[in-house]
Amino acid sequence: MTSQVDTLLHARWIVPVDAAQSVLEHHSIAISQGKILDVLPTDQARQTYTSKHELELTDQLLMPGLINAHGHAAMSLFRGLADDLALMTWLQEHIWPAEGAFVSPEFVRDGTRLAIAEMLKSGTTCFSDMYFYPDVAAETATELGIRAQICCPILDFPTPWAKDADEGIHKAVEVHSAQRHNTLVSIAFGPHAPYTVSDEPLKKIASLHEELQIPVQMHVHETAFEVAEAEKSGLRPIARLEKLGLLGPNFQAVHVTQVDDEDLDLLAKNKVKVVHCPESNLKLASGFCPVDKLLKAGVSVSLGTDGAASNNDLDLFGEMQTAAQLAKAVAGDAAAVPAYEAIRMATLSGAECLGIDEITGSLESGKAADIIAIDMSRLETLPVFNPVSQLVYTRMADKVNHVWVNGKMLVRDGLLTQIDIEKLKQQARQWGEKIRAGDNND
Protein backbone atom coordinates (compact mmCIF):
# COMPACT_ATOMS: atom_id res chain seq x y z
CA MET A 1 0.00 0.00 0.00
CA THR A 2 1.20 3.48 -0.87
CA SER A 3 0.35 6.70 0.95
CA GLN A 4 -1.22 9.66 -0.86
CA VAL A 5 0.63 12.98 -0.56
CA ASP A 6 -0.05 16.41 -2.03
CA THR A 7 3.18 16.70 -4.02
CA LEU A 8 6.04 14.37 -4.86
CA LEU A 9 9.30 15.79 -6.21
CA HIS A 10 11.94 13.52 -7.78
CA ALA A 11 15.31 15.25 -8.19
CA ARG A 12 18.77 14.43 -9.49
CA TRP A 13 20.28 16.07 -6.39
CA ILE A 14 19.05 17.38 -3.05
CA VAL A 15 21.13 19.67 -0.83
CA PRO A 16 19.18 19.52 2.45
CA VAL A 17 21.59 21.78 4.43
CA ASP A 18 22.30 19.50 7.36
CA ALA A 19 25.11 19.01 9.86
CA ALA A 20 26.63 16.25 7.71
CA GLN A 21 26.79 18.65 4.71
CA SER A 22 24.96 16.04 2.64
CA VAL A 23 24.42 16.03 -1.09
CA LEU A 24 21.77 13.42 -1.84
CA GLU A 25 21.60 11.88 -5.31
CA HIS A 26 18.42 10.50 -6.89
CA HIS A 27 16.29 11.44 -3.91
CA SER A 28 12.71 12.66 -3.58
CA ILE A 29 10.67 14.90 -1.32
CA ALA A 30 7.11 14.10 -0.26
CA ILE A 31 4.99 17.14 0.68
CA SER A 32 1.72 17.05 2.58
CA GLN A 33 -0.34 19.99 3.90
CA GLY A 34 2.44 22.47 3.17
CA LYS A 35 5.09 20.52 5.08
CA ILE A 36 7.89 18.14 4.16
CA LEU A 37 6.69 14.67 5.06
CA ASP A 38 9.74 12.74 3.92
CA VAL A 39 13.09 12.97 2.13
CA LEU A 40 14.12 9.57 0.79
CA PRO A 41 15.71 7.73 -2.16
CA THR A 42 13.60 8.01 -5.31
CA ASP A 43 13.20 4.25 -5.78
CA GLN A 44 11.84 4.01 -2.27
CA ALA A 45 9.65 7.07 -2.71
CA ARG A 46 7.93 5.56 -5.75
CA GLN A 47 7.06 2.48 -3.70
CA THR A 48 5.92 4.47 -0.66
CA TYR A 49 3.96 7.46 -1.98
CA THR A 50 1.60 8.48 -4.76
CA SER A 51 0.51 11.96 -5.72
CA LYS A 52 -1.55 13.77 -8.35
CA HIS A 53 1.26 16.35 -8.46
CA GLU A 54 4.37 14.34 -9.23
CA LEU A 55 7.30 16.19 -10.79
CA GLU A 56 10.26 14.53 -12.51
CA LEU A 57 13.03 17.06 -12.01
CA THR A 58 15.64 15.56 -14.31
CA ASP A 59 19.04 17.25 -13.97
CA GLN A 60 17.59 19.57 -11.34
CA LEU A 61 18.64 20.24 -7.76
CA LEU A 62 16.37 20.84 -4.79
CA MET A 63 17.49 22.94 -1.83
CA PRO A 64 15.88 25.11 0.84
CA GLY A 65 14.59 28.45 -0.33
CA LEU A 66 17.07 31.27 0.27
CA ILE A 67 16.59 33.64 3.21
CA ASN A 68 17.42 37.30 2.65
CA ALA A 69 18.02 38.38 6.24
CA HIS A 70 18.19 42.14 5.61
CA GLY A 71 16.79 44.55 3.08
CA HIS A 72 14.57 47.51 2.35
CA ALA A 73 12.14 46.04 -0.16
CA ALA A 74 10.26 49.16 -1.28
CA MET A 75 13.58 50.88 -2.07
CA SER A 76 13.59 48.84 -5.27
CA LEU A 77 11.79 51.89 -6.69
CA PHE A 78 14.97 53.92 -5.95
CA ARG A 79 17.21 51.44 -7.79
CA GLY A 80 20.03 53.39 -9.48
CA LEU A 81 18.84 56.76 -8.17
CA ALA A 82 22.15 57.72 -6.53
CA ASP A 83 25.21 55.60 -7.26
CA ASP A 84 28.95 55.88 -6.57
CA LEU A 85 28.59 57.87 -3.35
CA ALA A 86 29.77 57.43 0.24
CA LEU A 87 27.14 56.18 2.69
CA MET A 88 26.39 59.44 4.52
CA THR A 89 26.36 61.49 1.29
CA TRP A 90 24.11 58.88 -0.29
CA LEU A 91 21.74 58.94 2.69
CA GLN A 92 21.67 62.63 3.63
CA GLU A 93 21.76 64.25 0.19
CA HIS A 94 19.82 61.76 -1.93
CA ILE A 95 17.92 58.93 -0.22
CA TRP A 96 16.41 60.71 2.78
CA PRO A 97 15.18 63.66 0.65
CA ALA A 98 13.71 61.24 -1.92
CA GLU A 99 11.96 59.29 0.83
CA GLY A 100 10.52 62.49 2.27
CA ALA A 101 9.14 63.42 -1.14
CA PHE A 102 7.81 60.10 -2.42
CA VAL A 103 7.34 57.45 0.26
CA SER A 104 3.67 56.65 0.95
CA PRO A 105 1.61 53.50 1.53
CA GLU A 106 1.19 53.19 -2.25
CA PHE A 107 4.95 53.54 -2.80
CA VAL A 108 5.63 50.83 -0.23
CA ARG A 109 2.99 48.49 -1.65
CA ASP A 110 4.24 48.78 -5.23
CA GLY A 111 7.93 48.75 -4.29
CA THR A 112 7.52 45.73 -2.04
CA ARG A 113 5.66 43.83 -4.76
CA LEU A 114 8.49 44.62 -7.19
CA ALA A 115 11.06 43.36 -4.67
CA ILE A 116 9.13 40.19 -3.85
CA ALA A 117 8.80 39.34 -7.53
CA GLU A 118 12.54 39.74 -8.04
CA MET A 119 13.35 37.70 -4.93
CA LEU A 120 10.99 34.84 -5.75
CA LYS A 121 12.29 34.53 -9.31
CA SER A 122 15.85 34.26 -7.98
CA GLY A 123 15.07 31.67 -5.30
CA THR A 124 14.37 33.68 -2.13
CA THR A 125 11.42 32.32 -0.13
CA CYS A 126 11.84 34.44 3.01
CA PHE A 127 13.06 38.00 3.53
CA SER A 128 13.55 40.48 6.33
CA ASP A 129 12.42 44.02 5.56
CA MET A 130 13.11 47.28 7.37
CA TYR A 131 11.13 50.15 5.90
CA PHE A 132 8.35 52.64 6.41
CA TYR A 133 4.69 51.56 6.52
CA PRO A 134 5.61 48.06 7.75
CA ASP A 135 1.92 47.24 8.06
CA VAL A 136 1.62 47.63 4.27
CA ALA A 137 4.73 45.49 3.70
CA ALA A 138 3.29 42.78 5.97
CA GLU A 139 -0.02 42.81 4.06
CA THR A 140 1.81 42.61 0.73
CA ALA A 141 4.01 39.68 1.77
CA THR A 142 0.96 37.82 3.10
CA GLU A 143 -1.02 38.47 -0.08
CA LEU A 144 1.80 37.14 -2.29
CA GLY A 145 2.47 34.10 -0.10
CA ILE A 146 6.11 34.72 0.80
CA ARG A 147 7.58 34.34 4.29
CA ALA A 148 8.87 37.54 5.92
CA GLN A 149 10.13 39.29 9.01
CA ILE A 150 8.98 42.91 8.95
CA CYS A 151 11.12 45.31 11.03
CA CYS A 152 9.31 48.48 12.08
CA PRO A 153 11.65 51.47 11.52
CA ILE A 154 12.49 53.64 14.54
CA LEU A 155 14.45 56.90 14.32
CA ASP A 156 14.71 59.97 16.56
CA PHE A 157 13.68 62.36 13.78
CA PRO A 158 10.48 62.57 11.69
CA THR A 159 10.00 59.98 8.94
CA PRO A 160 7.16 59.30 6.52
CA TRP A 161 5.80 56.79 9.07
CA ALA A 162 6.37 58.37 12.50
CA LYS A 163 7.18 61.80 13.93
CA ASP A 164 9.78 60.48 16.39
CA ALA A 165 11.13 57.33 18.04
CA ASP A 166 8.36 57.12 20.64
CA GLU A 167 5.66 57.11 17.98
CA GLY A 168 7.66 54.55 15.97
CA ILE A 169 7.87 52.25 18.99
CA HIS A 170 4.14 52.64 19.71
CA LYS A 171 3.24 51.86 16.11
CA ALA A 172 5.60 48.87 16.07
CA VAL A 173 3.81 47.33 19.04
CA GLU A 174 0.48 47.88 17.26
CA VAL A 175 1.74 46.19 14.08
CA HIS A 176 3.09 43.30 16.16
CA SER A 177 -0.30 42.86 17.81
CA ALA A 178 -2.14 42.99 14.48
CA GLN A 179 0.14 40.34 12.91
CA ARG A 180 0.56 38.02 15.90
CA HIS A 181 -1.52 35.22 14.33
CA ASN A 182 0.08 35.51 10.88
CA THR A 183 1.84 32.21 10.09
CA LEU A 184 3.92 33.74 7.27
CA VAL A 185 4.93 37.12 8.71
CA SER A 186 6.62 38.01 11.99
CA ILE A 187 7.34 41.50 13.35
CA ALA A 188 10.56 42.96 14.76
CA PHE A 189 11.74 46.31 16.06
CA GLY A 190 13.94 48.12 13.53
CA PRO A 191 15.87 50.92 15.26
CA HIS A 192 17.81 52.31 12.30
CA ALA A 193 21.31 52.68 13.74
CA PRO A 194 23.13 53.75 16.92
CA TYR A 195 23.73 57.20 15.40
CA THR A 196 20.03 57.81 14.63
CA VAL A 197 18.44 56.46 17.83
CA SER A 198 19.26 57.88 21.27
CA ASP A 199 19.52 56.06 24.60
CA GLU A 200 16.00 56.51 25.96
CA PRO A 201 14.19 54.96 22.95
CA LEU A 202 16.72 52.12 22.91
CA LYS A 203 16.07 51.45 26.60
CA LYS A 204 12.34 51.32 25.87
CA ILE A 205 12.95 48.93 22.96
CA ALA A 206 15.12 46.73 25.19
CA SER A 207 12.33 46.54 27.78
CA LEU A 208 9.63 45.70 25.21
CA HIS A 209 11.98 43.28 23.47
CA GLU A 210 12.28 41.38 26.75
CA GLU A 211 8.60 41.66 27.69
CA LEU A 212 7.04 40.77 24.31
CA GLN A 213 9.87 38.67 22.85
CA ILE A 214 10.03 40.90 19.77
CA PRO A 215 13.37 40.58 17.92
CA VAL A 216 15.48 43.65 17.15
CA GLN A 217 17.32 44.29 13.89
CA MET A 218 19.70 47.25 13.58
CA HIS A 219 22.47 48.58 11.32
CA VAL A 220 25.56 48.32 13.54
CA HIS A 221 29.23 49.17 12.94
CA GLU A 222 28.51 49.78 9.26
CA THR A 223 31.41 52.20 8.67
CA ALA A 224 34.67 53.25 10.33
CA PHE A 225 33.33 56.82 10.51
CA GLU A 226 30.30 55.68 12.54
CA VAL A 227 32.48 53.87 15.06
CA ALA A 228 35.02 56.70 15.30
CA GLU A 229 32.29 59.26 15.97
CA ALA A 230 30.77 57.06 18.66
CA GLU A 231 34.14 56.57 20.36
CA LYS A 232 34.31 60.33 20.95
CA SER A 233 31.61 59.82 23.61
CA GLY A 234 33.58 56.98 25.15
CA LEU A 235 31.83 53.81 23.91
CA ARG A 236 31.93 51.92 20.65
CA PRO A 237 28.36 51.23 19.41
CA ILE A 238 28.34 47.51 20.27
CA ALA A 239 29.51 48.24 23.82
CA ARG A 240 26.83 50.94 24.14
CA LEU A 241 24.13 48.55 22.96
CA GLU A 242 25.19 45.95 25.51
CA LYS A 243 25.14 48.58 28.26
CA LEU A 244 21.57 49.45 27.23
CA GLY A 245 20.51 45.80 27.46
CA LEU A 246 19.88 45.18 23.77
CA LEU A 247 22.44 42.53 22.89
CA GLY A 248 21.29 38.91 22.98
CA PRO A 249 20.29 35.91 20.82
CA ASN A 250 17.34 37.88 19.36
CA PHE A 251 19.45 40.89 18.37
CA GLN A 252 20.28 40.99 14.65
CA ALA A 253 23.31 43.18 13.90
CA VAL A 254 23.48 44.19 10.24
CA HIS A 255 26.75 44.95 8.40
CA VAL A 256 29.34 44.76 11.25
CA THR A 257 32.31 45.76 9.10
CA GLN A 258 34.37 47.23 11.96
CA VAL A 259 35.23 44.62 14.62
CA ASP A 260 37.99 44.69 17.21
CA ASP A 261 38.67 41.98 19.80
CA GLU A 262 36.35 43.57 22.37
CA ASP A 263 33.51 43.80 19.84
CA LEU A 264 34.05 40.17 18.88
CA ASP A 265 33.92 39.06 22.51
CA LEU A 266 30.65 40.96 23.09
CA LEU A 267 29.03 39.53 19.95
CA ALA A 268 30.03 35.98 20.85
CA LYS A 269 29.19 36.24 24.56
CA ASN A 270 25.70 37.60 23.83
CA LYS A 271 25.06 35.17 20.93
CA VAL A 272 24.22 38.10 18.64
CA LYS A 273 23.22 37.20 15.08
CA VAL A 274 25.22 39.05 12.40
CA VAL A 275 23.74 39.77 8.96
CA HIS A 276 26.41 40.23 6.28
CA CYS A 277 25.56 42.39 3.22
CA PRO A 278 28.77 42.14 1.18
CA GLU A 279 27.70 43.74 -2.10
CA SER A 280 26.12 46.80 -0.50
CA ASN A 281 29.16 47.21 1.74
CA LEU A 282 31.45 46.99 -1.28
CA LYS A 283 29.44 49.47 -3.32
CA LEU A 284 29.31 52.02 -0.51
CA ALA A 285 32.95 51.33 0.48
CA SER A 286 31.75 50.67 4.03
CA GLY A 287 34.36 48.05 4.84
CA PHE A 288 34.66 44.28 5.12
CA CYS A 289 32.79 42.08 7.58
CA PRO A 290 35.35 39.61 9.05
CA VAL A 291 33.12 36.61 8.39
CA ASP A 292 35.72 33.89 8.91
CA LYS A 293 36.79 35.41 12.24
CA LEU A 294 33.17 35.71 13.39
CA LEU A 295 32.34 32.13 12.44
CA LYS A 296 35.43 30.78 14.20
CA ALA A 297 34.38 32.70 17.33
CA GLY A 298 30.99 30.97 17.23
CA VAL A 299 29.01 33.98 15.96
CA SER A 300 26.16 33.08 13.60
CA VAL A 301 26.41 34.91 10.25
CA SER A 302 23.64 35.07 7.67
CA LEU A 303 23.28 36.99 4.41
CA GLY A 304 21.28 39.99 3.22
CA THR A 305 21.20 41.99 0.04
CA ASP A 306 20.36 45.33 1.70
CA GLY A 307 18.10 47.47 -0.48
CA ALA A 308 18.22 47.67 -4.27
CA ALA A 309 19.14 51.36 -3.95
CA SER A 310 22.59 50.34 -2.68
CA ASN A 311 23.18 46.93 -4.26
CA ASN A 312 21.47 47.22 -6.95
CA ASP A 313 19.75 43.83 -7.08
CA LEU A 314 18.14 41.35 -4.68
CA ASP A 315 19.98 38.27 -5.97
CA LEU A 316 20.94 36.26 -2.89
CA PHE A 317 22.80 33.69 -4.98
CA GLY A 318 25.05 36.53 -6.14
CA GLU A 319 25.41 37.64 -2.52
CA MET A 320 26.42 34.10 -1.57
CA GLN A 321 29.14 34.02 -4.22
CA THR A 322 30.47 37.45 -3.24
CA ALA A 323 30.42 36.55 0.46
CA ALA A 324 32.37 33.32 -0.05
CA GLN A 325 34.98 34.91 -2.28
CA LEU A 326 35.36 38.08 -0.21
CA ALA A 327 35.76 36.07 3.00
CA LYS A 328 38.76 34.29 1.51
CA ALA A 329 40.42 37.57 0.51
CA VAL A 330 39.75 39.22 3.89
CA ALA A 331 41.04 36.18 5.82
CA GLY A 332 43.95 35.61 3.44
CA ASP A 333 42.89 31.98 3.34
CA ALA A 334 41.40 30.17 0.35
CA ALA A 335 39.80 27.65 2.73
CA ALA A 336 37.82 30.32 4.60
CA VAL A 337 34.01 30.01 4.30
CA PRO A 338 33.85 26.91 2.09
CA ALA A 339 30.96 26.48 -0.31
CA TYR A 340 28.61 24.47 1.94
CA GLU A 341 29.08 27.02 4.75
CA ALA A 342 28.13 29.80 2.32
CA ILE A 343 24.94 27.90 1.42
CA ARG A 344 24.17 27.51 5.12
CA MET A 345 24.60 31.27 5.60
CA ALA A 346 21.97 31.84 2.88
CA THR A 347 19.50 29.31 4.29
CA LEU A 348 19.59 27.76 7.76
CA SER A 349 21.70 30.51 9.35
CA GLY A 350 19.21 33.04 8.01
CA ALA A 351 16.37 31.06 9.60
CA GLU A 352 18.27 30.96 12.89
CA CYS A 353 18.80 34.71 12.71
CA LEU A 354 15.07 35.33 12.26
CA GLY A 355 14.13 32.77 14.91
CA ILE A 356 12.30 30.47 12.48
CA ASP A 357 14.81 27.61 12.11
CA GLU A 358 12.26 25.15 13.49
CA ILE A 359 10.02 26.10 10.57
CA THR A 360 12.32 26.58 7.59
CA GLY A 361 15.93 26.85 6.40
CA SER A 362 16.61 23.18 5.70
CA LEU A 363 14.89 20.25 4.01
CA GLU A 364 13.79 17.79 6.69
CA SER A 365 10.62 16.09 7.82
CA GLY A 366 8.23 18.39 9.65
CA LYS A 367 9.55 21.66 8.26
CA ALA A 368 7.64 23.90 5.89
CA ALA A 369 8.00 23.02 2.22
CA ASP A 370 9.99 26.15 1.34
CA ILE A 371 11.91 24.67 -1.58
CA ILE A 372 13.58 25.78 -4.78
CA ALA A 373 14.45 23.72 -7.86
CA ILE A 374 17.50 24.69 -9.91
CA ASP A 375 18.32 23.60 -13.45
CA MET A 376 21.83 22.14 -13.42
CA SER A 377 21.85 21.26 -17.13
CA ARG A 378 22.71 24.75 -18.39
CA LEU A 379 25.89 25.47 -20.30
CA GLU A 380 27.45 27.41 -17.41
CA THR A 381 26.96 24.59 -14.88
CA LEU A 382 28.43 21.68 -16.85
CA PRO A 383 30.08 19.37 -16.05
CA VAL A 384 28.80 18.84 -12.51
CA PHE A 385 31.58 17.43 -10.34
CA ASN A 386 30.15 18.91 -7.16
CA PRO A 387 26.76 20.65 -7.31
CA VAL A 388 27.54 22.60 -4.12
CA SER A 389 30.43 24.28 -5.92
CA GLN A 390 28.15 25.32 -8.79
CA LEU A 391 25.57 26.75 -6.38
CA VAL A 392 28.12 29.10 -4.84
CA TYR A 393 30.72 29.89 -7.48
CA THR A 394 28.69 30.18 -10.69
CA ARG A 395 25.78 32.43 -11.64
CA MET A 396 22.66 30.65 -10.42
CA ALA A 397 19.74 33.08 -9.96
CA ASP A 398 18.63 32.74 -13.58
CA LYS A 399 18.61 28.94 -13.26
CA VAL A 400 15.82 28.81 -10.64
CA ASN A 401 13.00 26.83 -12.25
CA HIS A 402 10.43 26.34 -9.48
CA VAL A 403 9.78 27.87 -6.06
CA TRP A 404 7.47 26.64 -3.31
CA VAL A 405 6.57 28.36 -0.04
CA ASN A 406 4.54 26.26 2.40
CA GLY A 407 4.14 23.76 -0.41
CA LYS A 408 2.49 26.31 -2.70
CA MET A 409 4.19 26.79 -6.06
CA LEU A 410 4.93 30.52 -6.50
CA VAL A 411 7.29 30.10 -9.47
CA ARG A 412 6.69 27.50 -12.19
CA ASP A 413 9.18 27.05 -15.03
CA GLY A 414 10.73 30.40 -14.14
CA LEU A 415 7.40 32.28 -14.26
CA LEU A 416 5.61 33.86 -11.31
CA THR A 417 2.25 32.23 -10.59
CA GLN A 418 0.74 34.89 -8.29
CA ILE A 419 1.97 38.19 -9.79
CA ASP A 420 1.03 39.97 -13.02
CA ILE A 421 4.53 40.79 -14.23
CA GLU A 422 3.45 43.23 -16.96
CA LYS A 423 1.33 45.24 -14.55
CA LEU A 424 4.23 45.29 -12.10
CA LYS A 425 6.62 46.56 -14.76
CA GLN A 426 4.22 49.32 -15.73
CA GLN A 427 3.87 50.45 -12.11
CA ALA A 428 7.66 50.53 -11.74
CA ARG A 429 8.02 52.64 -14.88
CA GLN A 430 5.35 55.07 -13.65
CA TRP A 431 7.14 55.50 -10.31
CA GLY A 432 10.41 55.99 -12.17
CA GLU A 433 8.92 58.81 -14.24
CA LYS A 434 7.44 60.45 -11.15
CA ILE A 435 10.68 60.25 -9.17
CA ARG A 436 12.77 61.41 -12.13
CA ALA A 437 10.55 64.45 -12.56
CA GLY A 438 11.13 65.40 -8.92
CA ASP A 439 14.83 64.61 -8.96
CA ASN A 440 16.06 67.11 -11.55
CA ASN A 441 18.50 68.73 -9.14
CA ASP A 442 20.45 65.54 -8.40
Q: What is the DSSP string of 199-225?
A: HHHHHHHHHHHHHH---EEEEES--HH
Q: What is the DSSP string of 315-351?
A: -HHHHHHHHHHHHHHHHT-TTSS-HHHHHHHTTHHHH
Q: What is the pLDDT of residue 438?
A: 80
Distance of alpha carbon 385 from alpha carbon 381, whole angstroms: 10
Evaluate whether 214 touches 176 at the Cβ level (below 8 Å). yes
The fold of 66-354 is TIM Barrel (3.20.20)
Q: What phi and psi, each to the nearest 5 degrees, are found at residue 113?
A: -60, -45
pLDDT, one tens digit for every residue, the chain (442 residues): 789 999 999 999 999 999 999 999 999 999 999 999 999 999 999 999 999 899 999 999 999 999 999 999 999 999 998 888 888 888 889 888 898 899 999 999 999 999 999 999 999 999 999 999 999 999 999 999 999 999 999 999 999 999 999 999 999 999 999 999 999 999 999 999 999 999 999 999 999 999 999 999 999 999 999 999 999 988 999 999 999 999 999 999 999 999 999 999 999 999 999 999 999 999 999 999 999 999 999 999 999 999 998 999 999 999 999 999 999 999 999 999 999 999 999 999 999 999 999 999 999 999 999 999 999 999 999 999 999 999 999 999 999 999 999 999 999 999 999 999 999 999 999 999 999 888 534 3
Asked whether the CA dihedral 114, 120, 122, 124 is positive or negative, the reply is positive
- At 359 the three-state DSSP class reads coil
Give whole-number Cα distances, 110 to 114, 131, 171, 427, 429, in Å.
Answer: 6, 13, 22, 7, 11
Give whole-number Cα distances, 287 to 238, 276, 282, 354, in Å.
Answer: 17, 11, 7, 24
Identify residue 158 by its one-letter amino acid code: P
Distance of alpha carbon 115 from alpha carbon 98, whole angstroms: 18
For domain 3-64+369-406, the CATH class is: mainly beta
Distance of alpha carbon 425 from alpha carbon 431, whole angstroms: 10
Residue 115 host element (H or E) = helix 105-121
For the beta carbon of residue 264, count every other beta carbon within 10 angstroms. 18
**Paired residues of 40 in beta bridges:** 28
Q: What is the pLDDT of residue 439?
A: 54
Domain boundaries of the chain, sorted by first residue: 3-64+369-406, 66-354
